[in-house]
Chain A
Amino acid sequence: MRFRNTKLEVEQKKSNVVRRLTIFLGGIAGVLVVVTVVVSVGYASKGSELMIVEREISKLTTENGEIEEQIVRLTSVSNLVEGIEETDFIDPENIEYLSSDLAQGQDIIAKLP
């Protein structure tokens, strides 16, 4: 009788161990599933963020290019000259140079104090 009871106890203990092990492994699997889902969602949202950032970079690069193009066009000396001529500023017809001696500031030229 004593033997029988011992056998039942052992089986019950075994059953408890198996149950606990199942719960434990199930728990781990569950955690892993949750982690996997969370990480996947996280990565997906990061991918989405990356796409948004890349679109922003592309937009800014395009705008930067447009501004640079405007600057290049605005540096046009030809356009500047046209504008100057429209405001009645003109280049001198003839330029007279002083001789180099005079240009170097010999006494013939009055100097400011």
Chain B
Amino acid sequence: MKWRLKIAGLTFLGVVLLVLGRLFYWQIIRGEELQTSARNQYMSGSRILAKRGGILSSSGDWLVSSADSFLMYAQMTEITDDARTIANKLAPLLVDDPSDKQNLLQKAMELEAALLRVDVVWLPLARKLNSVTKRNIEALAIRGIGFDLEEARVYPEASSSAHVLGFVGKSDEGRDQGYFGLEGYYDLLLAGTNGYLERESSAIGMPLLTGEERGTSALGGVNLITHINKSIQLLIERRLVNGIEKYEAVSGNVIVIDPETGGIIAMAAYPSYDPGKYFEYGDMYFKNPIISDAFEPGSILKPVIMVAGLDSGEVSPETKCDICDKPLKIDKYEIGTWNNEYHADSTMAEVIQHSDNVGMAFVGQKLGADRMYDYLKNFGFGSLTDIDLQGEASPKIRERGKWGDVDVATASFGQGIAVTPVQMVMAITAIARDGVMITPQVVGKLSQGDWEENIELKVGERVISEKAANEITQMMVTAASEGEAKWTADVKLKVAGKTGTAQIPVAGHYDDEKTIASFVGFAPYDQPKFVMLVTLREPQSSPWASETAAPLWYGIAKEMMRYLD
């Protein structure tokens, strides 16, 4: 009897130990893994997309907005139809023009090739589909084809303002990221912060109210309200393209600034690209030449050097140039005028009016190398302007103390020194502002819902006296109305301006035929409403700015005044 009890006891003990062992295995050894697996079964999580902020013009019109778009994918394990059938069904809905048979066939072949892959279980088939296309595809009820919500940028003006706006591409991690222009510079503010929601759900995805729930709501991106005037922006783009065609130039750009605020009213460069289809263009199109391309400014730099001479007291408007009767020899170099005409005893006002290189070399010599360098630095050359656009670059100017006599002379009329268009226009803006620098800004306000915040103006230092600024303004008024571009001038616009025809340095010397034609100026000169720089690269109809950039400048200015009054 006793041994039976013992066997029964041992059996029970064995069973208990077995159960305990098994419990130990499930609870302790595989506990964490099973816990995760169970949590995945009843916890459902979703990412809440933060809407990227929009970019608006000064009047509140959209330049860029965000909209829902969809990524179409194939869940390969659930596909039942054959690849060709699916491809033939989808292709007509994914091409711009289904009547273009060649394009349609190519799309169908691409899809079929993708769907025949055996090494993947999930395959993205098309991105940035709009909701109409998505609905049409869903109506086909193809098993294994699904959609993920994404965000797309909407550009109501298509390629307009491309260089100002930049575009939204993908980062290394596959998330949306702004590149170039405002999209790049304000990426963090525009992007906002995605939210998430994680909670317990039933097998059919129904939320269990008694279960655990955690998450944060999405914080949408901030809207940027720019200084851009949409009408003027479209105007300068249209005029620029017409001008490039008319004067047979390789490229060109226009920048318009409000001298009171430093706000960029309009900015356009051509060739350009469509930010909505940025992937169809090469990298060379993305760079904004106005903020990143260096060029020798030529005669449009003369007002800056002249005002430095006036401010320093080395010259006055009445000072006579006693070396202007013939070409100037410095070392082995000879400096002549653009038209080989020499005006003995020209006053400084006449030097600007005639765009006299020898007269400018005279001013340069009076200033001296170090003072010229200091003035150029104070006017912002050789430094970033800190414009709120991604991709700004600044060419270096020769170091202080390393300027030879020839360097001083050539820099006086804008050769041997490189600047960017935005640096150039900001220097002239300082003259229009009676001698006080200001930082250029594209964005004037940030907004989100009812919240709005103005971006403060960044007024810089006074770089020249008000008197000197007024004197050079008068010289620029005479240059505009009596200089070589007088034929195109419109006195009623009250323009203070200067033409510039710069030779292009190629492999250590200046090209004989290629020029960069520019016109910079502001109007009305007594109460400036805008400062504008027009630059045309290698115009073929005429190399001279007075016959290319100047008429384009006046054409834009005349039409633009309608929007500024």
Query: Could you tell me which A residues sit within 8 Å of B by CB distance?
Result: 43-44, 46-48, 50-51, 54, 62, 65-66, 68-69, 72-73, 75-79, 81, 91, 94-100
Chain A's closest residue to B158 (CB) is: A78
| Neighbouring A residues of B157 by C-beta, 8 Å | 76-78
Which A residues are in CB contact (< 8 Å) with B210? 43
The distance in angstroms between the C-alpha atoms of A95 and B562, with both chains bound, is 9
The verdict on A69 contacting B202 (CB below 8 Å), with A43-B208, A43-B209 known, is no
Whether A62 pairs with B131 at a CB distance below 8 angstroms is: yes
How close is A54's CB to chain B, nearest CB, in angstroms? 8
Chain B hits for A100, CB < 8 A:
492, 494, 524
Q: What residues on A are CB-neighbors of B494 within 8 Å? A: 100
Cβ A78 vs Cβ B160 within 8 A: yes
A91 to B556 alpha-carbon distance, docked (Å)? 13
Q: How far is the CB of A105 from chain B (nearest CB, A)?
A: 14
**Contact of B154 with A by CB under 8 A:** yes
Q: Which residues of B contact A54 (CB under 8 A)?
A: 207
Distance in angstroms between the alpha carbons of A106 and B34 in the assembled complex: 91
Q: Which residues of A contact B67 (CB under 8 A)?
A: 65-66, 68-69, 72
- 5 A-B residue pairs with Cβ-Cβ distance under 8 Å, sorted by A, are A44-B202, A44-B206, A48-B206, A62-B68, A95-B558
Given contacts A65-B68, A98-B492, is CB(A51)–CB(B234) below 8 Å?
no
Closest A residue, CB atoms, query B526: A100
Whole-angstrom distance between the alpha carbons of A101 and B396 in the complex?
46
B154 touches A47 (CB 8 A): no
Asked whether any CB of chain A lies closer than 8 Å to the CB of B156, the reply is yes
From B200, which residue of chain A is reached at the shortest CB distance? A47
B154, A72: Cβ atoms under 8 Å? yes
Known: A43-B208, A47-B206, A97-B490. 9 other contacts (CB 8 A): A46-B209, A47-B209, A72-B62, A73-B156, A75-B61, A75-B62, A79-B156, A81-B234, A97-B558
- The tally of residues in B whose CB lies under 8 Å from a CB in A reads 30
Q: Is B88 an interface residue (CB 8 A)?
A: no
B126 at the binding interface (Cβ < 8 Å) = no
B220 CB to closest chain A CB, in angstroms? Answer: 12
At the interface, yes or no: B230 with Cβ under 8 Å from chain A?
A: yes
Residues of chain B with a CB closer than 8 A to A81's CB: 234
Residues of B within 8 A of A66 (CB): 67-68, 131
State whether B234 touches A50 (Cβ < 8 A).
no
CA gap between A96 and B524 in the complex, in Å: 15
Across the interface, which residues of A come within 8 angstroms of B18, CB to CB? none
Cross-chain contact of B208 among A47, A73, A77, A96 (Cβ < 8 A): A47
Which residues of A lie under 8 Å from residue B17 when comparing CB positions? none
Closest CB of chain A to B559's CB: distance in Å? Answer: 6
| Chain A residues closer than 8 Å to B206, beta-carbon distance | 44, 47-48, 51
List the 5 shortest-distance A-B pairs measured between CB atoms, nearest first.
A76-B156, A69-B67, A97-B492, A72-B65, A65-B68
Q: How far is the CA of A103 from the CA of B271 in the complex (A)?
A: 39
Tell me the B residues contacting A by CB distance below 8 Å: 61-62, 65, 67-68, 131, 154, 156-158, 160, 202, 205-210, 230-231, 234, 490, 492-494, 524, 558-559, 561-562
Residues of A contacting B493 in the complex (Cβ-Cβ under 8 angstroms): 97
A39 CB, nearest partner CB in chain B, Å: 9
When distances are taken between beta carbons in the complex, the residues of chain B under 8 Å from A94 are 558
Checking B208, B209, B234, B490 against A78 with a beta-carbon cut-off of 8 angstroms, the contacting residue is B234
Q: How far is the CB of A102 from chain B (nearest CB, A)?
A: 9
User: Is A68 a contact of B65 with CB atoms below 8 Å?
Assistant: yes
Chain B contacts for A91, CB-based, 8 A: 559
Enumerate chain B residues within 8 angstroms of A44, measured Cβ to Cβ. Answer: 202, 206
When chains A and B are docked, how far (Å) is the Cα of A99 from the Cα of B490?
10
Give Cα distance in the complex from A48 to B234, angstroms. Answer: 52
- Separation in Å of the B550 CB from the closest CB of chain A? 16
Task: With CB as the reference atom, state the residue of chain A lying closest to B493.
Answer: A97
The reply to whether A69 and B558 contact each other, CB–CB distance below 8 Å, is no
Closest Cβ of chain A to B226, distance in Å, is 15
A68 neighbours in B (Cβ, 8 Å): 65, 67
Pairwise interchain contact A50-B61, C-beta atoms closer than 8 A? no
Find the A residue at minimum CB distance from B210: A43
Alpha-carbon distance between A96 and B554 when the two chains are bound, in angstroms: 12
CB distance from B541 to the nearest CB of A (A): 19
Nearest neighbor of B490 in chain A, beta-carbon distance = A97
- A47 pairs with B202, CB closer than 8 A: yes
* B228: min CB distance to chain A, Å: 12
- Distance to closest chain B CB from A24 (angstroms): 29
A65 CA / B558 CA spacing, docked (Å): 40
Q: Which residues of B contact A97 (CB under 8 A)?
A: 490, 492-493, 558, 561
Residues of chain B with a CB closer than 8 A to A99's CB:
492
Tell me the complex Cα distance, A96–B157, Å. Answer: 29
Contact B207 A77 (CB under 8 A): no
A47–B202 CA distance with the chains assembled, in angstroms: 9
> Roughly how many angstroms separate A94 CA and B231 CA in the complex, as a whole number?
17
Q: Which residue of the partner chain A has the closest CB to B151?
A: A65
Q: How many angstroms from the CA of A73 to the CA of B155 in the assembled complex?
A: 8
Contact A47 B207, beta carbon cutoff 8 Å: yes
Q: How far is the CB of B361 from chain A (nearest CB, A)?
A: 37
Q: List, in ascending order, chain A residues with CB within 8 A of B490's CB.
A: 97
B489 → chain A, closest Cβ, in Å? 13
In the complex, which of the residues A43, A48, A72 contacts B156, with contact meaning CB atoms closer than 8 Å?
A: A72
Contact of B154 among A43, A62, A73 (CB under 8 A): A73
